[in-house]
Structure 1
Amino acid sequence: MNIAIWIIQGLAALGFVYSGWLKAFQYEKAKESWIWVKDVSKEFVVFIGLAELFGALGIILPQALNIAPVLTPIAATGLAAVVLFGALYHVSRKEYREIGVNIVFFALTVFVAISRFCSI
């Protein structure tokens, strides 16, 4: 089971690194990729991107290095919240096609959070 959790952590981290990098450091490309980016401030998009990047680090490094491993499920919980709020934002804008990605990453991060909290 531990291997499955690591695979899911890795997939989630890769997804958040990709989207976080675009939002934090390639704002123009993010504007082309996601329609909602045009409707919020650049600073907020960058903030979300940095939160996703730090969350991606937090979902891997504490557990991998065995340094404060409790931070891994906490990071997963934070990322689940980011994705949940993103989904709610898409619902408020009636962007239902965008919610599928949110649901997948919500499920991944909740699975990691529950699995890692239970193994502490």
Structure 2
Amino acid sequence: MNPALNLTLWIVAGVLAAVLLVSTSKMFVPREKMAAVGHAAEWVLDFSPAALRVIGALELLAAAGLILPGVLDIAPVVVPVTATCVAVLFVGAAAMRLRRGERVTIAPDLVYLALAAFVAWGRFGPGSFTG
């Protein structure tokens, strides 16, 4: 395996995991308080508190799934599977932004989607843990 690709995949997976961990704040911060932060956060009002907790829990699991299987060498195939799921999550986020007419705030979701797709491609392909 190419060491530069491996390092890049680890860095990108770490950035995605950090983004997902920060995003789990929706599990603990009231929706109204989050929506008051700014226009980009008003989407939380479209979801019930229970739905936000589920989304936050999935993001927490995704953060763990991007890092722990590779670090612990326990079922490392979970990393690219998780990255694929994270890409699907951000497809949903981008679709929600489009539905809400928030075209300006869609850029970060598309960047995270591209990063997740890169990790999935890399870990399923040339940067596979099994290769």
Identity %: 37
Report matched runs for 1:65-76 at 5 Å. 65-76=72-83
In the alignment, is residue 58 of structure 1 matched against residue 61 of structure 2? no
Select the residue among 90, 104, 107 that pairs with 2:111: 104
Query: 1:8, 1:92 → 2: CA distance?
Result: 28
Aligned length: 119
Return the offset for 1:108: 0.8
RMSD: 1.2
Alpha-carbon displacement from aligned partner over 1:5-32 (angstroms, at most 9, x marks no partner): 1111111110110012x11222344333
Query: 1:50, 1:7 → 2: CA distance?
Result: 23
TM-score with structure 2 length normalisation? Answer: 0.85
Bigger helix share: 1
SS in 1 for 2:26: helix
Return the offset for 1:101: 1.0
Could you list the runs of 5+ residues in structure 1 that have no partner in the other structure?
none
Report matched runs for 1:5-20 at 5 Å. 5-20=9-24
TM-score with structure 1 length normalisation? Answer: 0.93
Query: 2:45, 2:103 → 1: CA distance?
Result: 18
* Amino acid in structure 1 at the alignment position of 2:28: F
Could you list the runs of 5+ residues in structure 2 that have no partner in the other structure?
none
Higher relative contact order (CA 8 A, sep 6+): 2
